[in-house]
Amino acid sequence: MVNQGLLYVVPTPIGNLADMTPRAIEVLNQVDVIAAEDTRHSARLLQHFGIKTPALAYHEHNERQLCHKLVERIQLGDSVALISDAGTPLVSDPGYHLIRAARETGVQVVPLPGACAMITALSASGLASDRFVFEGFLPAKSAARCQRLQALVDDSRTLIFYESTHRIQASLADMADVFGAQRQAVIARELSKRFETIHGDSLSALLSWLESDANQCRGEFVVLVQGAAAVEDEAVSAEAKKVLVILMQELPLKQAAALAAKISGLKKNDLYRLGLTLLEK
């Protein structure tokens, strides 16, 4: 049952229409208007489920102007559902300005759980899922992309990226350069669709696999990269660890790791990562 004066955030399938939830259909049927990223694209979905609710275009080019008008409409009693072309709105999709404007004005936002490519990919990746970071799309140009990747090189969480067919090979090549050819990763392609493929290997092996089979470069991709290996205590001598622990009591971790590296001759990054794991304990 849909209430008036609410803003619903409604995920839609990422490939398989059977993933549309009954609640999503109910909400889309009952709201006064659907704010859709691309009304023509969503028309097919709405038609499939016999949903006749009017839709208006709400996309990255008009969202700043339109969000206040939509919020005013909701304040006057209309209910609105936000959808994107696929998956969960706001996840690499428009909606941020609308939700922010709604919350700032006290409009209640009701999010529906549903399809999201990165979570679907993570759930089948076999990579650590207790801590992960979603990085969305990487920059299109290699220099900017490498800079972004460089900032993640020591991150021990599973790294999740979205990628398109045009850039999947170039991005994997940059990942292999920055993270090292042997870092493990998983490619999740065409999830929930006919050619769904979930394949894990080292970054260099994944790149060769893509280069050898043009079919594997087609479609939509989630790339998941294993986080930087946590430094094993044994890799750092007991003496160096003792030095690090003492310095960490007096200094920020970055400085403590740099000084401990000078004293012990070990790598600053290894000591920094060990420091992070000590802080977590």
Residue 117 sits in the site that holds ligand SAM (CB under 6 A): yes
Q: Give the C-alpha distances (Å, rounded to integers) separating 16 from 13, 112, 223.
A: 6, 18, 20
Residue 163 sits in the site that holds ligand SAM (CB under 6 A): yes
Residue 135 sits in the site that holds ligand SAM (CB under 6 A): no
Residue 88 sits in the site that holds ligand SAM (CB under 6 A): yes
Residues 6+ apart with CB under 8 A from 113: 11, 21
Residue number of the CB atom closest to ligand SAM: 87
Sheet of 80-83: strand order equals 55-57, 33-36, 80-83, 6-9, 108-111
Q: Say if residues 148 and 141 touch (Cβ distance below 8 Å).
A: no
How many C-beta atoms lie closer than 10 Å to residue 108's C-beta?
Answer: 12
Pick the piece of the chain touching ligand SAM (CB under 6 A) from 58-66, 200-208, 218-226, 261-269. 218-226
Q: Rounded distance, CA 121 to CA 124, Å?
A: 6
How many residues bind ligand SAM, per CB under 6 A?
24
Which tokens sit at 177? 């350069």
How many C-beta atoms lie closer than 10 Å to residue 164's C-beta?
Answer: 12
Q: Among 10, 14, 83, 152, indicate the residue that binds ligand SAM (CB under 6 A).
A: 14
**Residue whose CB is less far from ligand SAM, 117 or 207:** 117
Q: Among 28, 91, 127, 159, indicate the residue that binds ligand SAM (CB under 6 A).
A: 91
The nearest distance, CB 143 to ligand SAM, in angstroms, is 22
Residue 86 sits in the site that holds ligand SAM (CB under 6 A): yes
Residue 221 sits in the site that holds ligand SAM (CB under 6 A): yes
User: What φ, ψ does residue 236 adopt, rounded to 5°?
Assistant: -115, 130
**Residue whose CB is less far from ligand SAM, 164 or 182:** 164
Give residues in contact with ligand SAM (CB under 6 A). Answer: 14-15, 84, 86-88, 91-93, 116-118, 162-164, 188-193, 220-222
